[in-house]
Structure 1
Amino acid sequence: MSISAIDNRTDNVGRAIALTLFTIAVFGVQDAISKHLVQSYSPFQVTMMRYWGFALFALILVMRQGGWRQALASKVPGWQMLRGALLIIEIWFFAMALQSVPLGELQSISMVYPLLVTLFSIPLLGEKVGVFRFVAVGVGFAGALIIVRPGGLPLDWGVGFAVISATLYSLYIVLTRKVSQFDRAATSLAYTGIIGLVLSSGVGVFFWQPMAWVDVALVVTMMVTTCLGHGLMIYALSMAPASTVQPFNYFALPWAIVLSMVVFGHFIDPISLLGAAIVVAAGLVVMARERIKRVAIVDGPILPGRE
């Protein structure tokens, strides 16, 4: 399925939603594997190896769209390179947060990104945000504060890394919207793959540690499922608008809570769960309001297993 097929889709909303939910489940399993690995290996090494899978996927997809030379012909190469750098730095911070923050709570904090996108869209895209959405953003941030309240999550570096990760991810999405006004989705995907591959490998190689065979198998599993997950997400977007399937990305939160309980034996406390529910509700309100106002939700490029 090519990127261009998204522009010529025949809507099949039910199948698109099912594929989106399955893809989110796959990415959640990848996060659980990453959390297991970063307990023994550097987050930079794990990120590098995980990104290899995405780079392979990007290479195959871009070649099908006419080759790298055509894909790299950007009208805004500076913005594209900044996007690529932001994404890989964001993944580094997410991986470092995985070392100490439970999956459920980490995913809850990450869910503030649609709210941050709303705020960053004002100066970077010139969008107008009314009082209604500002109130929703404020409520969402209140929910995040409930999660990290005194007596909630330990206020260590992991929580800070999670907040920085969500902030960088929202900036990446806003810049993706910005460059979509000038470049094709294949161009954005190419820059994301190349910049991320260069930076992740250039840093990760200095943190290399020999891996046990079982951990190598887990890394290979992540690489294979990365290609599978992104391919399925593109297929889902070929059957329904991104604004239709985007709200179902919040399935990542309950799935992360389940994985955290089953795999790591961690149970999210009721007050943190309340805070997570407030964050999700605020995000859904913002999305609904944006849809009413006909503000585009990002269609591409597909992201490397962090959603």
Structure 2
Amino acid sequence: MDDHKRLAVVVNSSAGSANEPHLADHLRECFEGVVILDVGDGDLIETLREAATYDIMGIVGGDGSVNAAVEVALETGTPLAVVPGGTLNHFARDIALESMETTQAAIAAGRTAVIDVGLIDGAPFVNTASFGSYPELVDERERRENRLGKWPALAIAMGKVMRTMTPTAVSINGRRTSVWLFFAGNCRYDPPGLAPLNRARLDDGLIDLRWIDASVPFGRTRTFLAMLTGPRGRSRAVKTLVGERFEIVSHEGPLRLARDGETFDGGECIVIEKHPKGVQVYVGWADR
């Protein structure tokens, strides 16, 4: 352990492999003296706040759980240790933490970095935020997920969204456009298109915008393909902007938003920018 610092790890058992039966034993084997806090039927944020009273706050779960942990880390300043354990672990991959053992090694070596946190309508995100068809897709999937499972629910949701989706008229920094699908990345992503897979840096101070322009022919088809695979390379329908701050004005009322895969109701005028503070996280890479 990093200078014998006290570690409390929050387990969100609703997040993918975080509900594995021997998880607690595995955690105790990897992290000497760890305190394990299981959310159970309680509140994730409040459980994380309890963990943040220790020297290091740990979280086992996917990107949604990590998002909640980052929110608490911004409040408290407690260093964050991510243990991959959810259905989607994009953030853990980007900080080179592929397993519980790599997180243990990072803590033992004291390897940390301060990473950027994006804000959309005041809500933090560490990977991507979005509006348009994607939040609708997530909502439709979640209505069926408990009954059908994640991937069958996603397939049915995608079919429904494709039949009913309409473009969203917005202005981006004063320029009016109409979009099928809109993503904002926390830092610059590669490759081009709507398949943001990786980031060379997590502290570049930039917001990476990508959207599908509804004025381009076959925009609905392009959106469907983007949801399935993400178009790479150049396409007339895919537009991009990179900058430090963007103002989005909806011409169709309040926007339904998503951040790191979790949906919520936003306003008619939203700002996408960086939080003035970063978050200290344990990372798997050596000094860059």
TM above 0.5, yes or no, is no
- Whichever structure has more strand as a proportion of its residues is 2
For the pair shown, the structure with the greater C-alpha radius of gyration is 2
Considering Cα pairs closer than 8 Å and 6+ residues apart, tell me whether 1 or 2 has the greater RCO.
1
- Whichever structure has more helix as a proportion of its residues is 1
Q: Compute the TM-score of the two structures, normalised by the length of structure 1.
A: 0.24
Q: Compute the TM-score of the two structures, normalised by the length of structure 2.
A: 0.25
